[in-house]
Each structure stands twice: as structure tokens, then as C-alpha cells.
Amino acid sequence: MDKAMRPPPSAELLSQMEAEGKALGDVPYQQNGTISFEFFLETTKIVTKYVYLYSKDGLEEDKLKRREFVAASKEPEFLKLIQLNMAWQEKTNGFMKARLYTALKVPKDVLNKSAHAYMQDAANRETFYNALGALRDELSGQQPQDLTRDQCLDFVRRIEAAKFADQQRLHELVVNKKIASHMIGMYVKCSKIKEFDTIFNETGVEQEDINRSMKKLNLLEDEEFKTIIAESKKKSEEFLASKKDETASMMQAAATGDAQE
């Protein structure tokens, strides 16, 4: 269904979300003007849950179309679908979040201050993303696929090689004015999605399976993994340094932002 034709969240769904938020009790404000981390996390989980319940069918439909476009090498259609999908998700998430915190009478500036404070703390950030990841796994109901260490490392090598190839292509596109410089960030995101879609089309392995298995195997502390990432980073930095232009600087900034997400 076209994004513009998708119905808004139902009144019943919104009422359920608000009721679940109010069931948490009074808002626990801190002396520094933030809400408590526990309340911030629990309300974010509620928003995530109801955004998922509302959008799951549309997202699944888009994912199937996206992978068909990748398999058929229909890049313009793929890119357009990604942009529409991102805009729809951003709008949906913003609407649902505003709806819940308005119902709970949490001012926007307090919410923003709380989010900034907690996301700056490494321990809170890890707890936050782990909790949301576990919630999404629970909601999806999909049977996770456990990968071996060697499988994970092979995927990491493949992903890093694809990133470098896309980086070279992107630089050429921007320099030759075939893509606007302000679209660099979007291109990086789309390239990442495309590579994971290609992996699924060829192997049946989802991005979530790779991420979950890497965490389970504690691969971030694996020396071979660290070497792969370090070599890839060095190769990328050397390429961008060799160009010494504004486009390279913007690409570096976009790559850094994508890595932090």
C-alpha cells in the first residue's frame, strides 16, 4: 500500500498505549530536571511496542519489495522505497512518542534533556539498546538463527568490503554531481541496507541474526574481528585522505555517524 494511503494508528491502539504508560505510575522527576532512566527506558519500550504493532505489516511488505528490487538490480526503485519507508517510520515514531508523553504530561524539553543525558552514558546506552533489541525479538516472534564465529567473521569481511566499494563509488558520484552532497548520509544508510538485503537473498540470514550472534559470541572482543575492522578503517581513511577534498570530508562525517547508530 502507498505510504500516503496507509491509515493512521487507530484510536483503540493509541488508548492502549496511553493506558500502559499511565500504569507506570507518577512520573519520577529528578533534581537535575530529567525523568529517571528506568522511566525513560520503560516508556521508550512502550512507544517501540506500539509503533511495531501499528507498522509491522507495512514494514514487512516494504522489506519484501525492497529485496525484490535488490535481486532485480532495480536501484532507483530500491532507493525511492527506502526514502519513503524512512520518512514513514520517522513520522510514525514521532507521532506515537509525542502522543504518549503528552498523555503522561512530560514536557518535550524534559524528555529531550533526559534522552541526551542517558544516551551520553555508555552503560545506560548499552542497557537501553539491549532492552529494545530484546523487545523487538520478542515482538517479532521469529526463531533466531545462531551463527558460528567463522560465519560471523565471513559476514563482517563481506560487509566491510562492500562498505569500501560503496565509498569509492559514492565519492565518484558526488564529484561528478550525479548525487547531491546533502544526500551522502542517506546514500550510506541505503548502501548498508542493500548489503544486508543481498546477504539475505543469497544466504537466508537476517541482519538481526548476525548482530545477535556477534553479541552472543562476544565478537567485539575477538582479536580477529578487531583486526578486520582496524584494517577496513585504515583502508577507508587512506582513500579519503588521498582525495583531500570537501566531498571526502563530508563522507567521513557521514560514515562516522552511521557507525555510531
pLDDT at 5 over 70: no
Domain parsing of the chain, residue ranges: 8-140, 149-260
The string of DSSP codes covering 207-260 is: HHHHHHHHHHTTGGG-HHHHHHHHHHHHHHHHHHHHH-SHHHHHHHHHHHHHHH
Residue 133 is predicted with a pLDDT of: 87
Render pLDDT for 230-241 as a digit per residue (tens, 0 to 9): 999 999 888 888
Express each pLDDT in 107-120 by its tens digit. Answer: 999 999 999 999 99
How many residues are recorded in the chain? 261
Lowest-pLDDT choice from 157-161, 242-246, 249-253: 249-253
Round to whole Å and give the CA distance between 133 and 140. Answer: 11
Q: What's the mean pLDDT in 10-26?
A: 97
Does pLDDT of 2 surpass 70?
A: no
User: Which range has the worst mean pLDDT, 113-117, 179-183, 207-211, 252-256?
Assistant: 252-256
pLDDT tens digit sequence for 65-114: 999 999 999 999 999 999 999 999 999 999 999 999 999 999 999 999 99
Q: Please give the pLDDT value at position 1.
A: 47
181 has pLDDT over 90: no
Q: What is the mean pLDDT of the chain?
A: 90
| Model confidence band, residue 170 (pLDDT cutoffs 50, 70, 90) | confident
What SS3 class is residue 29?
strand
**Beta-bridge partner residues of 35:** 29
